[in-house]
Structure 1
Amino acid sequence: MTRTLETVRLSRIDYGEAWELQKELVLEIGREERSDTLLLLEHPPTYTIGTDRHPEHLLYGPEELERRGIRVYQIDRGGDITYHGPGQLVGYPLIYLDAAGLDLHAYLRSLEEAIIGLLAEFGIAGGRKPEYTGVWVGDAKIAAIGVKFNRARTRRGFVTSHGFALNVKKNVEADGFQGIIPCGITEYGVTSLETLTGQTLDVETIGERLLPHFARVFGYDGVVSREGSRAKQGS
């Protein structure tokens, strides 16, 4: 059976808008009205707090958040607090997972594997830490992962939402992570593709280079790409 992934590039959009869009598309995929979809985008400066809520890991108070123009969302993915902002490639895979033989941990490892494959193109040895989700280069985290599994309405399985955030531009390290304890991890830091390569890189180009790795790991035969501010069918 041929499997095709639809990729939608949304450029930079508000986190709340992207979250609502995910909810709509999850319902469509769960009703078999839409194929699996990967949203690729950037967000303005944003902190998201997952279901493992630790308010003490947000170090900025309301006045400092307002001064820096950082919005805060408490959301329904797993994990603790993380940062999203310009210079970071954010990917939201909305994928149907059949209940038969379902392995939710394998899905997380597959997301990591796609990013590790991309890093290898740059000669970077990406890896994992057994106690943490995400992709690491040595003791520095380059990609955070947090997901939700939504029960499909008319199918015997789940549709994924939320996803990964890959630090591409060097500025990401300083622009937002200093205001939080990322994922509650105090002993390790963060890094970016630009820091590791010494190159000036474009977020959209990195998204394009990730696609073959994503398709390979998840077993898609083809990728159909679209651009636009909306991802609804026919728009």
Structure 2
Amino acid sequence: MAALELRRLSLADYSETLTAMRDYTDARDEHSPDQLWLLQHPRVFTQGQAGKAEHVLAPGDIPVVQVDRGGQVTYHGPGQWVVYLLIDLKRHSLGVRALVDVIEQAIVACLADYGIQAAPDPAAPGVYVAGRKIASLGLRVRRGCSYHGLSLNVDMDLEPFSRINPCGHEGLEVTSMAQLLAESAMPAMDAVGESLLTHLQRELAAANTD
């Protein structure tokens, strides 16, 4: 597998990060390394290309940013890990569906590390626990390369999800690792982030050998 760089960006402004992802994608060539960016965002709603205004119910004091990924509206905030996947799909002979599978399986494996049984839903991208969404994903492919990625709810305030129809689904319940685990079993935020990166690397490597 080609070089894969890991970047841990801590708490990063959404709009600045989006610009950086686009700039990297536009500037990269066949020798540029693929990258995974692990970070959290200050509170923000992001509305995908197919997003409909009626799914943003009452944003209040949280900004809404229009973005160029697929999907509808979602929420990012502290206590949620976001991983952006800047991957040259042509290099790995990966299609978008295959990359979605990689992301979903990595999230499922990460959650299994902590005793949480989760699964993707073929009808609605993301990962769910007993019908409640715990992780979202949205991608954009430009020049054969992906950006945007996934978000995993770890230990965060879920109230802002009530201000939207998450991912365009009215009444969709959202959960987090903290809601599902006893306080004594709740892992450190950094440990979850590292587990997520590890599983993403493994799934990407496996997909590259298929």
Superposition TM-score, scaled by structure 2 size: 0.91
* Residue in 1 that maps onto 2:126: 134
Contact 2:153 2:176 in 1 (8 A): yes
In structure 2, the CA distance between the partners of 1:161 and 1:100, relative to structure 1 (3 Å rule), is: closer
Q: CA deviation at 1:28?
A: 3.5
How many residues get paired? 204
* Residue in 1 that maps onto 2:115: 123
Matched, 1:161 2:147: yes
Structure 1, unpaired ranges of 5+: 152-157, 221-235
Contact 1:14 1:43 in 2 (8 A): yes
Amino acid at match of 1:125: Q
Deviations 1:41-100 (A, max 9, x none): 000000000011210111116xx22xxxx1210010000000000110001010001178
193-202 vs 35-44, which moves further: 193-202
Q: CA deviation at 1:104?
A: 1.5
Alignment of 1:1-235 (within 5 A): 2-29=1-28, 31-60=29-58, 64-65=60-61, 70-98=62-90, 101-151=93-143, 158-169=144-155, 171-174=156-159, 176-199=160-183, 200-219=186-205
Contact 2:56 2:73 in 1 (8 A): yes
Deviations 1:109-160 (A, max 9, x none): 1100010010111111110112100011110000000000111xxxxxx110
CA distance in 1, matches of 2:139, 2:75: 15
Amino acid at match of 1:191: T
* Cα RMSD, aligned residues only: 1.7
Contact 2:120 2:126 in 1 (8 A): yes
Superposition TM-score, scaled by structure 1 size: 0.82
CA distance in 2, matches of 1:25, 1:202: 31
Contact 2:165 2:171 in 1 (8 A): no
CA distance in 1, matches of 2:53, 2:24: 30
Q: CA deviation at 1:103?
A: 2.3
Q: CA deviation at 1:202?
A: 3.2
Amino acid at match of 1:198: A
Identical-pair percentage = 38
List, as ranges, runs of 4+ consecutive aligned residues in structure 1 with deviation greater than 4 Å.
99-102
CA distance in 2, matches of 1:191, 1:91: 18
Deviations 1:148-194 (A, max 9, x none): 0111xxxxxx110000010000x3312x1111110111243011011
CA distance in 2, matches of 1:100, 1:123: 32
Q: CA deviation at 1:27?
A: 2.5
Secondary structure of the corresponding residue to residue 24 of structure 2: helix
Amino acid at match of 1:160: S
Higher relative contact order (CA 8 A, sep 6+): 1
In structure 2, the CA distance between the partners of 1:60 and 1:23, relative to structure 1 (3 Å rule), is: same
Amino acid at match of 2:50: D
Secondary structure of the corresponding residue to residue 118 of structure 1: helix
Q: CA deviation at 1:34?
A: 2.5
